[in-house]
Amino acid sequence: MRFLRSKAAIETSEVAVIIAVVVLVAYAAYQLLGSRIAEVVRDVAGRL
């Protein structure tokens, strides 16, 4: 239980939660925009 009262443990937990949220947002954006991004890249490659 001493771990739960430690300030370092609380800060580490907060950082872990923030990283998890960033990863989830990035994954969601990739899922939503992935096919569109691939289409744009193919279009640009075709023009070169």
Q: What is the predicted pLDDT for the residue at 12?
A: 80
- Specify whether the CB–CB gap between 7 and 13 falls below 8 A: no
**Distance linking the first and last C-alpha atoms of the chain:** 61
Q: What is the mean pLDDT of each run of 10 residues along the chain (48 residues)?
A: 61 88 93 86 90
CA 38/CA 44 separation, integer angstroms = 10
Q: What share of the chain is helix, strand, coil (3-state, %, to 5)?
A: 95, 0, 5
What per-residue confidence (pLDDT) applies to 11?
79
Q: What is the pLDDT of residue 33?
A: 86
